[in-house]
């Protein structure tokens, strides 16, 4: 217990308070990785999803242009995914080797805590609920991070690898993934700047994620149940070294196999396709004139098929661009148009067709599309 309790000389209140160990160096390191990757992903991601706004263009320019922020975004995403794999391994170790309790899983007691807490705040109850090591608010936040990361990885994969995606999902899945990716990002950022800010910075400045320790009064309010346990000397003991050694014999081979598979999966994820859809065309951000900088040779028919599947052109031009039905019988396959005229038609939007801007489909994607149409 001595190691768990320490007096806190730096506390600004009149008498020095006891403080209690809350996070080890490993957890604090993970938090810093999360802090840096999350902020970086938001800074490089949000301007891409709001690229038509002036503030987003300024941010993109400041960060070195669309191409560079896209690369930064992917590097940060890769670090975050590596962190998720590490976290999963550590969690498995703590649960199955050290035999710790899964203190982050919500249960009925959290519903009781919330109700008691509301009653307390309404003045209907004298006593603040006795909250455990991780209280209901922290559990919700943790699970939201897990859930959010899963959504972002899946939808990010779909945008990063559109050809692979359209092999087993309809083409509309790719733009849908983009919408979901942006919406979840906005939700995550807004909840961090409201919920997380309020709970750990404004309501009480909680430094435990950096110092590792929480002072007595904060423990009483936020983790009274754990405080009682610490004071009563009921601290989770690690199993005997023999038990740990025995469990390690199973854990390490398992961790090695699963870890290797996941890391290989991650490498596959980041290197597999060079065809990520373009969220914003460089032209929107840097160029204002309308000259076409892409040539038809840059097109790739296979990518073009994925681009075709991700747009709605087939609604009028037919599934394989052989022409739709009825009065919209305009075939595009093997078009006689030159690449320049093709691009011009798409940008202009003849007759019933809408004009597609570079925000809808980039010049480069049109080159891919053109190559695919030529190969039909
Ligand atoms: C709402 C229906 C509709 C959609 C969706 C649509 N088009 Fe069209 N498109 C047309 C119609 C109608 C024409 C023929 C206009 C005319 O009579 O000249 C046309 C003409 C064209 C032409 C000129 C063809 C030529 O030979 O002159 C191109 C190129 C073209 N579309 C490409 C596309 C692409 C690429 C997409 C998807 C990004 C697309 N269209 C989506 C209706 C549509």
pLDDT tens, position by position, 239-284: 999 999 999 999 999 999 999 999 999 988 887 766 666 665 544 4
* Cβ neighbours of 26 (radius 10 Å): 11
Q: Tokens representing 69?
A: 């922020």
pLDDT, position 287: 36
Which atom of ligand 1 lies at the shortest distance from residue 352's CA? 12
Q: How far is the CA of 353 from the centre of ligand 1 (A)?
A: 5
Residues 290/376, Cβ–Cβ less than 8 Å: no
| Residue from 281, 305, 311, 317 to probe ligand 1 pocket by mutation (most atoms less than 8 Å from CB) | 317
Angle at 337 between CA 334 and CA 342, to 5 degrees: 105
Measured distance CA(31)–CA(35) in Å, rounded: 6
Q: Map tokens 């960060």 to a residue.
A: 63
pLDDT at 6: 55
Ligand 1 pocket by C-beta < 6 Å: which residues? 311-313, 315-317, 328, 330, 332, 335, 337, 342, 345-346, 350-353, 356, 361, 369
Q: Whose alpha carbon is nearest atom 17 of ligand 1?
A: 351
C-beta atoms surrounding 296 within 10 Å: 16
- Angle CA(240)–CA(86)–CA(209) in degrees, nearest 5? 85
| pLDDT lower than 70: segments of the chain | 1-16, 273-290, 325-328
Q: Residue whose CA is closest, atom 7 of ligand 1?
A: 353
Q: How far is CA 185 from CA 177, 192, 197, in A?
A: 12, 11, 17
Residues 6+ apart with CB under 8 A from 151: 180, 181, 184
Distance 331 CA to ligand 1 centre (A): 9
Q: How far is CA 161 from CA 150, 154, 265, 327, in A?
A: 16, 11, 13, 35
Token match 């075939």: residue? 331
User: CB–CB of 307/275 below 8 Å?
Assistant: no
Query: What is the distance in A from the centroid of ligand 1 to the CA of 329?
Result: 10
Contact 100, 236 (CB under 8 A): yes
């Amino acid at each position: 217990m001595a190691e768990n309790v320490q007096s806190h000389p730096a506390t600004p209140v009149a008498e020095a308070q006891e403080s209690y160990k809350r996070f080890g160096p490993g957890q604090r390191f993970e938090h810093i990785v999360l802090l840096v990757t999350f902020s970086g992903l938001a800074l490089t991601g949000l301007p891409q999803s709001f690229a038509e706004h002036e503030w987003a263009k300024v941010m993109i320019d400041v960060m070195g242009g669309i191409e560079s922020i896209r690369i930064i975004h992917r590097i940060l995403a890769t670090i975050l995914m590596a962190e998720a794999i590490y976290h999963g391994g550590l969690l498995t170790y703590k649960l199955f080797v050290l035999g710790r309790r899964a203190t982050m899983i919500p249960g009925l007691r959290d519903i009781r805590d919330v109700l008691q807490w509301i009653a307390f705040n309404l003045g209907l109850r004298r006593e603040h609920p006795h909250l455990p090591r991780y209280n209901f608010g922290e559990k919700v936040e943790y699970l939201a991070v897990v859930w959010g990361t899963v959504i972002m990885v899946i939808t990010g994969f779909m945008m990063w690898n559109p050809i692979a995606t359209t092999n087993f999902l309809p083409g509309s899945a790719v733009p849908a993934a983009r919408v979901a990716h942006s919406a979840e990002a906005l939700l995550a950022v807004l909840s961090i700047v409201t919920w997380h800010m309020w709970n750990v910075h404004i309501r009480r400045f909680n430094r435990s994620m950096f110092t590792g320790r929480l002072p007595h009064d904060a423990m009483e309010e936020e983790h009274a149940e754990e405080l009682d346990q610490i004071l009563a000397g009921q601290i989770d003991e690690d199993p005997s070294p023999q038990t740990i050694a025995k469990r390690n014999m199973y854990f390490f081979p398992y961790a090695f196999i699963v870890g290797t598979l996941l890391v290989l999966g991650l490498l596959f994820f980041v290197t597999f396709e060079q065809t990520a859809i373009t969220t914003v065309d460089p032209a929107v951000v840097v160029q204002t004139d309308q000259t076409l900088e892409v040539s038809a040779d840059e097109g790739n028919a296979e990518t073009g098929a994925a681009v075709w599947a991700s747009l709605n052109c087939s609604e009028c031009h037919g599934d394989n661009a052989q022409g739709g039905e009825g009065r919209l019988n305009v075939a595009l396959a093997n078009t006689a148009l030159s690449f320049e005229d093709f691009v011009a038609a798409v940008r202009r939007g003849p007759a019933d067709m809408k004009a597609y801007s570079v925000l809808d489909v980039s010049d480069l994607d049109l080159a891919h599309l053109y190559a695919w149409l030529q190969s039909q």
